[in-house]
């Protein structure tokens, strides 16, 4: 049985140590995404696609070491380094 989107997101949040609001903002431009999903929000296809793409891209970038801090200085979240930027 396939895990729900929320279950996959929860596992990703633990794996990445990313706060839910930072994840929602980065993945779908919605800082309330995770809290809304926890309260029963049904995501559309576009949101599901953006979230899945974000998680797979983050994991691929992490494997090759192309990650940098994401969010404010209090978070431990990471995202890929862009060409020409400094970490």
Q: How many residues does the chain have?
A: 87
pLDDT tens-digit series, residues 1-46: 468 999 999 999 999 889 999 999 999 999 999 999 999 999 999 9
- For the chain, give every domain's residue range: 5-79
Give the C-alpha separation, 30 to 28, whole Å. Answer: 5
pLDDT, tens digit, 9 for 90 and up, residues 43-74: 999 999 999 999 999 999 888 887 765 555 55
Nearest to 5 by CA among 32, 39, 43, 56: 43
Q: Is the pTM of this model over 0.85?
A: no
- CA distance to 10, 30, 39, 64, 65, per residue, from 24 (Å): 12, 5, 15, 23, 22
């Amino acid at each position: 049985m396939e895990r729900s989107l929320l279950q996959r997101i929860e596992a990703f949040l633990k794996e990445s140590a990313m706060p839910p609001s930072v994840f929602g903002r980065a993945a779908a431009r919605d800082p309330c995404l995770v809290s809304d999903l926890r309260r029963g929000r049904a995501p559309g296809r576009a949101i599901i696609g953006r979230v899945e793409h974000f998680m797979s891209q983050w994991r691929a970038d992490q494997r090759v070491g192309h990650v940098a801090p994401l969010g404010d200085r209090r978070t431990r979240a990471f995202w890929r380094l862009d060409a020409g930027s400094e970490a």
